[in-house]
């Protein structure tokens, strides 16, 4: 399957790291030295201290140097962890949810919010759902234009105002248009700026207020975008204001070309917020639902 190949390509650096560390413990005896090296390698891939520690302690107590045993322990621990973040796909939530289903994308600047919203809109459209994009990042003209270009490319309408206008006003128009056109899903792209309280929180609260007033229960998904290439820093970021912002799902971007793809495991271990989507490239098809089993199979494939 093309998507799996792309995921595999994307995770190539992370996979190399994991494979290398795996060799440390399956190509010989499980010595204390090998275990320590194994743990260090896993930490390099940013799986986090919790997951790395659990793996090592299970291997240590297992006491068997049999290759298949080690691989099975690795798979079991990783799978148990990944199940923490497995959930229904956004498509399922949208189909089950109210109409329009409202998604608010938030996150620090440059993590991939705009791109992910456009890719998601395209994906939902191909699944016979009607999306509407809302350009609520009014901070820079280029941001509005960026979404507009995506909109024309994928054939999805974009609700926009001029640069510098109040994001909440665009959100108001977006939801009104969504209802009037009877769309299935309204995807709201917001400005990220810095992850300081004032910048990230202020605007989001106001937009959420408008949504709640215009459509009680909305937003139905507060989707936080995190950049996979920054590894553990993404986890730190994700923890900031996450409750105050009411984050309900994550999109993990840029898993291509990073050796820190293990961050998915660290997020699963520490956050327990469902990862709805993963991004592995800049093309429109490079965003897919997160499947724990598929992810693990790709990660550990020989």
Ligand X SMILES: Nc1nc2c(ncn2[C@@H]2O[C@H](COP(=O)(O)OP(=O)(O)O)[C@@H](O)[C@H]2O)c(=O)[nH]1
Interface positions with ligand X (CB under 6 A): 107, 109-115, 192, 225, 253-254, 256, 279-282, 286
What minimum distance in Å lies between the beta carbon of 61 and ligand X?
38
* Distance (Å, whole) CA 221 – CA 78: 27
Which option in ligand X, Mg ion, none does residue 109 bind, with CB closer than 5 to 8 A by kind? ligand X
**Count of C-beta atoms within a 10 Å radius of residue 290:** 22
Q: For 249-301, what is the HEC assignment?
A: EEEEECCCCCCCCCHHHHHHHHCCCCEEEEECCCCCCCEEECCHHHHHHHHHC
Select the binding partner of residue 111 from ligand X, Mg ion, none (C-beta < 5 to 8 A, by kind): ligand X
Q: Please, which residue, 56 or 250, has the CB nearer to ligand X?
A: 250
Query: Which CB, 110 or 202, lies closer to ligand X?
Result: 110
89 binds, among ligand X, Mg ion, none (CB under 5 to 8 A by kind): none
Render 82-96 in DSSP notation, one character per residue: HGGG----HHHHHHH
Residue closer to ligand X by CB (options 192, 231) is 192
Q: From the list Mg ion, ligand X, none, which binds 115 (C-beta under 5 to 8 Å, kind-based)?
A: ligand X
Q: What is the number of the residue whose Cβ is closest to ligand X? A: 279
Distance CA 73, CA 107 (A): 35
Given Mg ion, ligand X, none, residue 282, with its beta carbon under 5 to 8 Å by kind, binds ligand X
Q: What is the spatial distance between Cα 183 and Cα 196, in angstroms, rounded to a whole number?
A: 34
Kindly tell me which of 208 and 254 has the beta carbon lying closer to ligand X: 254
Q: Which is nearer to ligand X, 28 or 202 (CB)?
A: 202
Nearer residue to ligand X within complex by CB, 28 or 110: 110
Q: Please calculate the CA angle 43-49-50 and round it to the nearest 5 degrees.
A: 135
Min separation Cβ 129 and ligand X, Å: 21
Beta-carbon contacts of 102 under 8 Å, excluding residues fewer than 6 positions away, are 175, 178, 185, 186, 188, 211, 215, 218, 219, 220, 221
Say which entry of ligand X, Mg ion, none residue 28 contacts (CB below 5 to 8 A, set by partner kind).
none
Minimum separation from the CB atom of position 172 to ligand X (A): 21
* Binding-site ranges for Mg ion (CB under 5 A): 113-114, 143
In angstroms, the Cα distances linking 137 to 7, 159, 213 are: 29, 11, 20
């Amino acid at each position: 399957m093309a998507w799996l190949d792309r995921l595999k390509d994307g995770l190539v650096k992370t996979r190399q790291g994991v494979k290398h560390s795996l060799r440390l413990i399956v190509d010989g005896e499980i010595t204390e030295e090998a275990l320590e090296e194994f743990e260090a390698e896993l930490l390099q891939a940013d799986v986090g201290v919790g997951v790395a520690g659990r793996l090592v302690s299970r291997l240590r107590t297992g006491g068997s140097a049999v290759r298949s045993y080690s691989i099975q322990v690795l798979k079991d621990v990783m799978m148990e962890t990944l199940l923490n973040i497995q959930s229904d796909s956004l498509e399922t939530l949208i189909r089950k949810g109210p109409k329009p289903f409202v998604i608010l994308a938030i996150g620090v600047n440059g993590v991939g919010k705009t791109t992910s919203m456009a890719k998601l809109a395209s994906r939902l459209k191909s699944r016979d759902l009607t999306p509407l994009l809302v350009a609520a990042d009014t901070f820079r003209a280029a941001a509005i234009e960026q979404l507009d270009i995506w909109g024309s490319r994928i054939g999805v309408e974009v609700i926009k105002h001029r640069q510098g206008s109040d994001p909440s006003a665009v959100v108001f128009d977006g939801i009104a248009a969504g209802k009037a056109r009877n769309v299935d899903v309204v995807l709201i792209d917001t400005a990220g700026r810095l992850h300081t309280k004032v910048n990230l929180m202020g605007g989001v609260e106001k937009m959420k207020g408008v949504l709640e007033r215009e459509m009680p229960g909305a937003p139905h998904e507060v989707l936080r975008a995190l950049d996979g290439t920054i590894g553990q820093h993404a986890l730190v970021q994700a923890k900031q204001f996450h409750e105050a912002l009411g984050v309900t799902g994550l999109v993990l971007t840029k898993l291509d070309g990073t050796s820190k793809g293990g961050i998915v495991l660290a997020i699963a271990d520490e956050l327990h917020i469902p990862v709805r989507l993963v991004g592995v490239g800049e093309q429109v098809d490079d965003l897919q639902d997160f499947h724990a089993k598929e992810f693990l199979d790709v990660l550990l494939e020989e």
